[in-house]
Each structure stands twice: as structure tokens, then as C-alpha cells.
Amino acid sequence: MTDEIVTDTQTAVEEQLVDNVVRSFDDCTDPRLKQLLTSLVHHLHGFIRDVRLTEAEWNAAIEFLTEVGHITDDRRQEFILLSDVLGASMQTINVANPACENATEATVFGPFFVDDAPRIDLGGDASGGASGQPCWVEGTVRDTGGDPVPGARIEIWEADEDGFYDVQYDDARVGGRAHLYSDDDGHYRFWALTPTPYPIPHDGPVGRILTATGRSPMRASHLHFMVTAEGMRTLVTHIFVSGDELLDSDTVFGVKDSLIKEFVEQPAGTPTPDGRDVGDKSWARTVFDIVLAPADV
């Protein structure tokens, strides 16, 4: 806070404004909307009063948010990036996905999911020709009681070895993303790429915040999953690479210990699980067993 002395008279003026704004919602017929707006006003005005916000700072904030809006389009979501780097995305995930027995933990959605990713068969290749080390991923989808979940839709998406998602290129390519379904026993398997670290887009207003605060734009290496099944809570999560030096400094605070997995590198010439010929390349493999919480938890 500044050293400004706030008199009783000034305090009364400020508190009266808060009361007036809150009272303006008295006729709202949507209880949840009224709750959200009332709480927002209390917290927003509390912040303004706590830091004694100046008009110049308010103007700078408006200009910043305007720029965030201008740079956002159907391929880049700067508002999600802003939410991510402030930890708001991760906190929303924590609140909306309470712990449920042994269910797999959720983490941030990120700005690069795209609907209608190509379908692949079990054992298919999700890389779509994107560059990187081939990686065999396998596991099961089960409920918290240990029973298999057949027919679970598994969406996967990731960056290539250069740190870019397909939507960050301007040639309409589709790669590093796909969807598949678990089999009757809840098993799934596919080829992807070994995840590598990459920076979030930092050439815009969110990047300037990171620079101004001495923060890195780097994300720890990860592979995205979204898993849906009837009667189950939708799971949005990642798996992270054990040993990655960025695990403790992921710029969107998305790492959870339970989601760190061993990606075991296989020397060139090592036979693959499905007999695929990967040429003279090394490849990696990992196991990710998924446990879905019931939808009503």
C-alpha cells in the first residue's frame, strides 16, 4: 500500500459506493448471477482500495485489456493466457474438480485445444506428421471402483519438437492432435511425440507482464488429455515428463506430482510394441492409467 492516510470521511465515501453498487443488483432474478456480481464488486473494490489505485494505473489496465482483446482471435486466446499466468485457470480447475478418491487429477485446459481432431484407431498415430521423437503411450481408463470404462473418448494434443502447436502455423496443417476410444476392457494405446518444453506465446501483452516481473514464459514438457465418458466427470489433464527441469517453474502452474510420468527412451533398433518401423530413430514409451470420477461428484 501507499503511505496515503485514508480519513474516516474518505472511508465512508468509498464504502457507500460499494453498498450502492451491490444494492443495484437487488432486482436480479438469477441468484447465482447476483452472487457472482456481488462478490466481484466486493473483491474488485477491495483491491482498488487496498492498493489505492491511481487513475493512470486504471487507464493502463484498460489499455492492457483492450490489447488482450485485439490480439485474441480464433487461433490465439490471449485472455486464457492471461488467466493461466495469473494462476486463475489452475485455481478454477482446483475448485471445479474436487478430489474424489483415486480419480486422476485435473489441470489447465490451455489455449490450443481444437474441436473435431482426427479420429485414430487404437495404436494409431496422433502426430499427423509433426516433427519429434516417436512416443508410444498406453494405459487404461477405469472408474474409481477399478472397473474398466469402455468407449471413453480420449482427446490428445501437443506441441511439436520446435515447441509449436499446429494452429500456430499459417498453413492449416493438422498434427499433434487426435481422438480415439478405449476398448471394451478400458485399454487405449497410440503413438504421439515425446513432449518437449516450449514457451507460451509471449509476443503480446501477457508476455510483457512476464518480462516485467522477471518470469519465464516456458511450460514444462507435457501431453494434453481430455477424457469423456457417459456418467463420468470430464477429465482435462496433462502428463508431464519426469526429470524435466521446468517442473517446478511451469509458467501456468499446471504441474501436479501425480501427473509426472516416466518417459523411457528406447534406443534405435529396439522393437516397438506394435511392430511399427520407426527407422533409425530412438523412441520413447510411457504408461498413463486414467481414473475418472463419477459425474455427480
Q: At CA 110, angle to CA 104 and CA 116, rounded to 5?
A: 90
Look at residue 189 and tell me if it is in a domain: yes
Residue 288: domain span: 81-292
Quote the pTM value: 0.90
Residue 124, in any domain of the structure: yes
| Predicted confidence (pLDDT) per residue in 174-209, tens digit | 999 999 999 999 999 999 999 999 999 999 999 999
Q: Is position 74 within any domain? A: no
pLDDT the model gives residue 140: 98
pLDDT at residue 82, as a whole number: 96
Same domain, 18 and 114: no
Pair (174, 269) in one structural domain: yes
Locate all alpha helices (DSSP H) within 86-122, ordered by sequence.
88-96
Which amino acid belongs to residue 270? Answer: T
Are residues 245 and 110 located together in one domain of the fold?
Answer: yes
Distance CA 223, CA 250 (A): 14
pLDDT tens for 235-257 read 999 999 999 999 999 999 999 99
- Higher pLDDT among residues 147 and 279, named by residue: 147
pLDDT digits (tens, 9 = 90+) for 23-66: 999 999 999 999 999 999 999 999 999 999 999 999 999 999 99
